[in-house]
Amino acid sequence: MKILIVDDELSPREQSKRLLAEFFPEITVCAEAENVSKAYEAILIHQPDVVLLDVDMPDGNAFDLLKRFPQINFNVIFITAYEKYALQAIKFSALDYLLKPYTSGEFVEAIRKAQREEDTSDTNLKFNTLLQNFQNQQQTKIVLRTSESIHVIQTDEIIRLQADGAYTTFHIFNRKPIVVSKNLKEYDVLLEKTGFIRTHQSHLVNSKYVECYHKADGGSLSLTDRSNVPVATRFKEKVIRQLEQI
């Protein structure tokens, strides 16, 4: 495996090289780059398998670089120093990232994941979703990965999410449910600012599809798909407050 390291600061590049040498001696660092222009040239010349890519650089950002390629035939691990809109776009697109300052354990896990996912057949689908979300300045699409497929879903078409242990089922308008192997808490954090309401330990609801709040039997919501979702006591006040703001 060949890795290209792209960061405008020398110290993070040196850190990446040190960790790669320590934990992955079989991996080759084919080149380094400190800006978008040099990164573009390095990718064309060296054809890396993985690019460790800093989001913000002096002559642009990671998205400016990716837009230069008609097809992406390498995996990317984004690196960013702070929580920003760009990080949300990356999360919605199911792409990998490291948040500075990261631990050696986090770095090792990211590289191991890249090694497991050498097939880049779904990479362009994820990047297209990423660029659309970033350009729109709002998270309108989310990538859901199942054991068999990659789905790109409009967030406003998601009616509700339901937890089943380590799995989450997405109930989507005019589509069959999609089951992904991630827990509901992860999506609660991801979707909390896009109109979704946590009503229960096992339920997350899109407020767009709420028809009625029922006070009886501890509280529940009726949705436009004719489903009824329970409202747990500990979520009740927050649910009512969020519904009043719609």
Position 244 scores a pLDDT of: 86
pTM for the whole structure: 0.72
Position 129 scores a pLDDT of: 85
In the chain, where the domains are located: 2-136, 154-244
Mean pLDDT by 10 residues, the chain (246 residues): 95 95 96 97 96 92 90 91 73 87 94 80 80 70 88 94 95 95 91 91 96 88 95 92 84
Position 189 scores a pLDDT of: 86
| CATH numeric code, 2-136 | 3.40.50.2300
Position 84 scores a pLDDT of: 65
CATH superfamily entry for domain 154-244: LytTr DNA-binding domain (2.40.50.1020)
Position 80 scores a pLDDT of: 86
Cα separations in angstroms, 90 against 38, 130, 180? 23, 6, 18
What does the H/E/C string look like for the chain? CEEEEECCCHHHHHHHHHHHHHHCCCCEEEEEECCHHHHHHHHHHHCCCEEEEECEECCEEHHHHHCCCCCCCCEEEEEECCCCHHHHHHHHCCCEEEECCCCHHHHHHHHHHHHHCCCCCCHHHHHHHHHHHHHHCCCCEEEEECCCCEEEEEHHHEEEEEEECCEEEEEECCCCCEEECCCHHHHHHHHCCCCEEEEECCEEEEHHHEEEEECHHHCEEEECCCCEEECCHHHHHHHHHHHHCC
